[in-house]
Amino acid sequence: AQSVAQPEDQVNVAEGNPLTVKCTYSVSGNPYLFWYVQYPNRGLQFLLKYITGDNLVKGSYGFEAEFNKSQTSFHLKKPSALVSDSALYFCAVRDTNAGKSTFGDGTTLTVKP
Amino acid sequence: DAMVIQNPRYQVTQFGKPVTLSCSQTLNHNVMYWYQQKSSQAPKLLFHYYDKDFNNEADTPDNFQSRRPNTSFCFLDIRSPGLGDAAMYLCATSILDRTYEQYFGPGTRLTVT
């Protein structure tokens, strides 16, 4: 079985400050990990993924995420937040043996000017 | 640009009146998904197709049906909508590779009166 947890419903940061959105996962095999962003009344948009290799993954719009196998985490980060980053962020995991992805409950990021 | 298109973006139907939502894609992906999303919660997978191979989730109500007449198009039929079916419905596509991300359409927001 696979599962993913986003422990924070809401993250608030000031523009220009670094941001972190947390994600932890549980899988029986090797994990494939994804981050998606959703703006109001829109579909989800792919940001980045970890499949194998370098633990630090870089994605769209200056976002990056760090895979930590020992802590089973895949936190999303950005060095300097923008107001336009305000959105709903979903972490998703897919086990190597799974036929589908499991999404976290989402974290609402609010960046204030 | 290659993309996933959903029509209509907003749909209002009456309680018990059948409704069909449509999805088309120009990505030529062989996997298509239908998700239900309520109130900024995690998307809930209803069913998916690997080419024409239909895969229904165990907890998807019988009220929900789907058709995929060809690679490009997929339809979600709700035979007798109830008030609890009001939600955002998201279509997504992917290639048949567990490492591959999903591409989402903009969604159809369904209102049941």
SS3 B85: helix
pLDDT at residue A98 greater than cutoff 80: no
As a whole-number percent, the residues of chain A with pLDDT over 90 amount to 81
Q: What is the pLDDT of residues B3-18, one digit of tens each?
A: 999 999 999 999 999 9
Q: Which residue has the higher pLDDT, B87 or A29?
A: B87
Question: What's the token pair of residue B103?
Answer: 């591409």
Chain B interface, Cβ < 8 Å to A: 4, 6, 40-43, 45, 48, 55, 88, 90-92, 98-99, 101-107, 109
Q: pLDDT (tens digit, 9 = 90+) per residue, A27-69?
A: 988 899 999 999 988 889 999 999 988 999 999 999 999 999 9
Q: How far apart are CA B73 and CA B102, in angstroms?
A: 16
Q: Closest Cα partner for A36 from B42, B37, B91, B81?
A: B42
Contact yes or no for B34/B48 (Cβ under 8 A)? yes
SS (H, E, C) chain A: CCEEECCCCEEEEECCCCEEECCEEECCCCEEEEEEEECCCCCEEEEEEECCCCCEEECHHHCEEEEECCCCEEEEEECCCCHHHCEEEEEEEEECCCCCCEECCCEEEEEEC
Residue A54, both tokens:
């370098």
* Chain B residues within 8 A of A42 when measuring between CB atoms: 106-107
Q: Which of B6, B42, B102 sits opposite A105 (nearest CB)?
A: B42
Sign (positive/negative) of CA torsion B4, B77, B64, B55? negative
- Asked if B98's CB is within 8 angstroms of A105's CB, the reply is no
Q: Cα–Cα–Cα angle for A39, A31, B90, nearest 5°?
A: 30
Average pLDDT over chain B reads 93
**Residue B105 · residue B6 · CB < 8 Å:** yes
Strand partners for B89: B36, B108
Contacts of A90 in chain B (CB under 8 A): 42-43
pLDDT at residue B2 is higher than 70: no
Asked if omega into A7 is within 30° of 0 (cis), the reply is no
How many other CB atoms are found less than 10 A from the CB of residue B64? 19
Measure the CA angle with vertex A24, ends A7 and A98; round to 5°: 125
* Proportion of chain B above pLDDT 70, given as a percent: 98
Calculate how close chain A gets to B79, using CA atoms only, in Å. Answer: 24
Locate tokens 């400050």: which residue? A17
| Residue among B40, B92, B102 whose CB faces A106 most closely | B40
